Structure 1
Amino acid sequence: MATPPMRLSKEARREQLLDAALRLVREQGADGLTLVTLAEAAGVSRPIAYGHFGTRTGLLLALYRRLEERHRDAVTEALRSAEPHAGVIAHVMSAAYFACATDMPEFTAVSAALKGNPEAEALQHELLDDYTEVMVAAMAPHSALPAEALRLRCIGVLGAAEAIAVELNRGRTTALDAVNALADLIVGSLAAGR
C-alpha cells in the first residue's frame, strides 16, 4: 500500500512551486510558464498554484524577487570572507555578481516577461536599493566620499555591472574580463572627486 504524500507547510509548498517554476523557465522559457503549467509540473491542483500567486504576473514577481534575493545573498556571503582591502572586496563582489548573472539564466527570461509591468518596476527599485546598501556598506570603510556621493556611485557601478552582464551573456567578453572590469570600476568609484 502506497503512503500518502506528505502535506507541506504553506511556505514549503511555495518554495516547491517556485523551484518548479524555475525549472519550467529554464526548460521552456518564461512564455511556457503559466499557473496551469506550474500546477502540472509541481504535481498540485490548480487552486493551490492560484492560491499562492493569484496571477501569472504574481508568480513572475515572486520568481524575480527570489532570484534577486539569491543574487544579493550570494554577494553578501562572499563578502563575509573577503580580506578588508578595497581591491579584494571589489573583486569578490564582481566575481559573485557575474557568477550569479551567468548561473541564473532564468533571471533574464523572467525580467523580460515582466517588462513594462508597474509592480515589477517598483520591485526592481526596492531590490536595487537593497543591493546598493550591501555595496555601500562594503565599500564605505575604503572611501572618503560622503555617504550620498558613495551611494550614487554604487548605483552607477551597478548600472555598469548590468551592462557588462549583458555583454558576458552575449558571449562578447569573458567572465574574467567582466570581473576585472567591474572590480576596476568599483575601486575607481571610491576616489573623492570635486
Structure 2
Amino acid sequence: MNQAPRQRMTHQARRQQLLTVAWDLIRQEGTDALTLGRVAEEAGVSKPVVYDHFSTRHGLLAALYEDFDIRQNALFDAAMAAAGDRLQDKAAVVAASYVNCVLTQGREIPDVLSALDSTPELAEVKRQYQLDFIEKFRGWFAAFVAPSGIPLATMWGLLGAADAISSAVICGDISQQEGLQELTALIITTIERSR
C-alpha cells in the first residue's frame, strides 16, 4: 500500500500549531509548565523547530500575547463597526467585547499576563499592546469628548479596571452580566468626565 507523502506545514501554519499547543498546555497546567521543550514534545516536533519560531520562552510568551491581541483586535473592530452611534451603545459594545475576549481565552490569559510582568522586556511588550488599545479606545470615543481627548492617566485607570473586572468574572467572583454592567458604566463615566 502506498502512503501519501507527508506534506510539510508552512512556516505560518506550524507557528499557529505551536501556539495552539502552548495555549492548551497553559490551560491544563499553567505557565510554569510552559517550556519550549515541552511545547515541542506536545506538538510532536523536535526542539529546534520550536526554537526556530520563538528562540526563547520569553519569545513564546510574547507570541502568545500577540496571538491573543490580534484575535481580540479583530473582534473589537468588527463589533465597533456594527455598534450604534450613541455613547451608551459604544460603551456597551466595548465592555462586552473586552470581557468576552478574556472569557473566550479563559484562565490562560491572566497566566500569560502575569508571566509577561516577570521581566522588563516582556513587561514592555505588554505595555506596547496596552498603549495600542488605549489609542484605539480614544479613537472610538473621540466624538464624545473635548478636543484634548481622554487623559492618559484616566485611560490607564480604565484599562486596569477592565482587567480587574474581567478577572473577577473569570474567577466567578461576579457574574458576566454584573461585569458587563459595571464596565459599561465605568466607560460612560470616563467619557463624560472628559467632555
Q: Assess same fold via TM > 0.5.
A: yes
Measured at CA, do residues 28 and 5 of structure 1 come closer, stay the same or move farther in structure 2, by a change above 3 Å? farther
Note the C-alpha offset of 1:142: 1.8
CA contact (8 A) 1:21 1:38 kept: yes
CA–CA distance in structure 2, aligned partners of residues 29 and 3 of structure 1: 38
CA–CA distance in structure 2, aligned partners of residues 107 and 51 of structure 1: 24
CA–CA distance in structure 1, aligned partners of residues 194 and 21 of structure 2: 48
User: Percent identical across equivalent pairs?
Assistant: 33
Residue 90 of structure 1: aligned partner: 91
Give 4+ residue runs of structure 1 displaced > 3 Å after superposition: 149-152
**Paired AA for residue 183 in structure 2:** L
Query: Structure 1: where are the runs of 5+ without partners?
Result: none
Residue 115 of structure 1: aligned partner: 117
Residue 139 of structure 2: aligned partner: 137
CA contact (8 A) 2:110 2:167 kept: no
Residue 192 of structure 2: aligned partner: 191
CA–CA distance in structure 2, aligned partners of residues 72 and 100 of structure 1: 9
| TM-score between the two structures when normalised by the length of structure 1 | 0.91
Say whether 1:124 aligns with 2:126: yes
Note the C-alpha offset of 1:145: 5.0
Deviates more, 1:155-164 or 1:92-101: 155-164
CA–CA distance in structure 2, aligned partners of residues 145 and 175 of structure 1: 34
Measured at CA, do residues 151 and 78 of structure 1 come closer, stay the same or move farther in structure 2, by a change above 3 Å? farther
Counterparts of residues 162-177 of structure 1 (less than 5 Å): 162-177=163-178
Note the C-alpha offset of 1:68: 2.4
CA contact (8 A) 2:87 2:144 kept: yes
- Structure 1 residues 107-162: Cα deviation after superposition (integer angstroms, max 9, x where no partner): 11222233321111111110011111111111111223512x35443332111111
Measured at CA, do residues 10 and 139 of structure 1 come closer, stay the same or move farther in structure 2, by a change above 3 Å? same
CA–CA distance in structure 1, aligned partners of residues 69 and 194 of structure 2: 31
Aligned residues: 193
Counterparts of residues 1-194 of structure 1 (less than 5 Å): 1-105=2-106, 106-144=108-146, 146-147=148-149, 149-192=150-193
CA contact (8 A) 1:145 1:190 kept: no
Query: Structure 2: where are the runs of 5+ without partners?
Result: none
| TM-score between the two structures when normalised by the length of structure 2 | 0.91
Note the C-alpha offset of 1:193: 5.8
CA–CA distance in structure 2, aligned partners of residues 31 and 157 of structure 1: 29
Deviates more, 1:89-98 or 1:137-146: 137-146
CA contact (8 A) 2:18 2:39 kept: yes
CA contact (8 A) 1:82 1:89 kept: yes
